[in-house]
Amino acid sequence: MIFENNLAFAQSLDQQDPLQHLRNDFFFPQQNGKPFIYLCGNSLGLQPKTAKEHIEQQLENWQNLAVEGWFEGDTPWMFYHKELKKLMAQVVGASPQEVCPMNTLTVNLHLLMVSFYKPSAKRFKIIMEAGAFPSDQYAIESQVRFHGYDPENAIIEVAPRAGEQTLRTSDILAAIADQGDEIALVLFGGVNYFTGQWYDMPAITKAGHAAGAIVGFDLAHAAGNVPLQLHDWDIDFACWCSYKYQNSGPGGISGIFVHEKHFKDRSLNRFAGWWGYQEEQRFKMAKGFVPEAGADGWQVSCTQVIPMALYYASLQMFEKAGFITPLREKSKKLTAYLFYIVNEVNRSLGEEQYQIITPATEADRGAQVSIIAKHKPKEIFKALMDNNILGDWREPNVIRLSPVPLYNSFEDVFITGEQLLKISKELI
């Protein structure tokens, strides 16, 4: 598509956008009485206007029913998660049985590694991307140590080549083939939080399986952002947080995916708890753990109704949008427009002040654009904030801007470019 760098053009794209009305369903933060252009949905998604009523409904159930709320009322808490599972399954490309909302992300990463990282003397290594989100690094290192191995030789990190910012798929696949039968687990991000690179998940999964390894993904930056087919891609397990592209609020509940091929495998370790026990027998309080079939069998503690109510509100927004296909259609265009606009700013400045490190190829990225600012990065980021544009900052010099198809517009992107040029001319 041929883009133009003017307001009328951006507005005409908004008029043609069938999802444009959805932004009215979200609250935008304000500064001096003016709403921010919010480009930070990769970090914390905006609040759906329906979030409050979902919470209030559960507070009322608690108020009026107290303990009876587990089995009575319009949404008995005992089965509340089943409503979410139907919608979550559509967001990540799975069956409802394969997903479950529970805990928070890093906790689930640990719980799933308990089941799926089963090192042996010969096969004990984990392959991951270099520069993964720190929580993932700490979780993986501590799991490796827990099993008595040394992270120094048990963790293989695949890094970009010298002078490059992102990973080549061929290098990832070569690293997997290279370590071959020493790999117990391939554990990658879906979309890298820093560069915005979307890894070739099906290819990584295939290569991991060819090497005889289990393959899992952390989808914190992928779920709700890019189209996923976790079941069809034959991924073994995955987990994600729901507060980034899925707008479930700070500390929102996490989701897990376990491929159905593992449901009957009794050899999998679990850190079990009563809520993972077979649902129909749970309240018999019997000795001897028998897991509920499916992802629900990984639950540990009783279901978190209030955080689930928030996630439910947001999942209904995805349902209203028609789930991920129409969102992705818009997202591809919206982010391509941001690429174009940033390059227009560079052209006006006569130098590459803003180097985009996110892959330009659609298939290798989601919504996010990560930009290295050459001169005065922090000052520029601050000035954007002062001008009502809220992105996010990563040390030492990266500005991440994520136009989110649920609530951002082409006009947002155009104005961001206009302000960025103005600020750059003033500051450098």
Reduced to 3 states (helix: H, G, I; strand: E, B; else coil), residue 405 is coil
Q: Which is nearer to ligand PLP, 193 or 354 (CB)?
A: 193
Reduced to 3 states (helix: H, G, I; strand: E, B; else coil), residue 186 is strand
Site string for ligand PLP, 172-191 (x = CB under 6 A): -----------------x--
Among residue numbers 104 through 123, which ones bind ligand PLP (CB under 6 A)? 104-106
The nearest distance, CB 174 to ligand PLP, in angstroms, is: 23
Q: Which residues pair with 47 in a beta bridge?
A: 27
Stretch that binds ligand PLP, among 73-81, 99-107, 260-268, 347-355 (CB under 6 A): 99-107
**In the set 135, 137, 278, 348, which binds ligand PLP (CB under 6 A)?**
135
Size of the site for ligand PLP (CB under 6 A): 12
The nearest distance, CB 23 to ligand PLP, in angstroms, is: 23
Stretch that binds ligand PLP, among 44-52, 64-72, 98-106, 157-165 (CB under 6 A): 98-106
Site string for ligand PLP, 212-251 (x = CB under 6 A): ------x-xx-------------------x----------
Q: Which is it for strands 214-218 and 237-241: parallel, antiparallel or unpaired?
A: parallel
The nearest distance, CB 116 to ligand PLP, in angstroms, is: 17
54 binds ligand PLP (CB under 6 A): no
Q: Give 323: exposed, middle or buried? Use CB within 10 Å, 0-12, 13-18, 19+.
A: middle
Stretch that binds ligand PLP, among 100-108, 206-214, 228-236, 354-362 (CB under 6 A): 100-108
Q: Which of 245, 324, 322, 347 is nearest to 3 (CA)?
A: 347
196 Cβ neighbours under 8 A, 6+ residues apart: 42, 221, 357, 358, 359, 365, 366, 368, 369, 370, 400, 402
Q: 177: part of which helix (H) or strand (E)?
A: helix 169-179
Strand ranges, E, within 56-151: 99-102, 125-129
Alpha-carbon torsion (169, 172, 178, 180), positive or negative? negative
Stretch that binds ligand PLP, among 48-56, 132-140, 179-187, 223-231 (CB under 6 A): 132-140
Cα dist. 44→51, 90, 105 in Å? Answer: 15, 21, 14
Q: Which is nearer to ligand PLP, 157 or 279 (CB)?
A: 157
Reply yes or no: is the peptide bond before residue 377 cis, omega within 30 of 0: no
The nearest distance, CB 105 to ligand PLP, in angstroms, is: 4
193 binds ligand PLP (CB under 6 A): yes
* Phi, psi at 230, each rounded to 5°: -60, -40
Q: Which is nearer to ligand PLP, 218 or 344 (CB)?
A: 218
Residues that bind ligand PLP (CB under 6 A): 104-106, 133, 135-136, 189, 193, 218, 220-221, 241
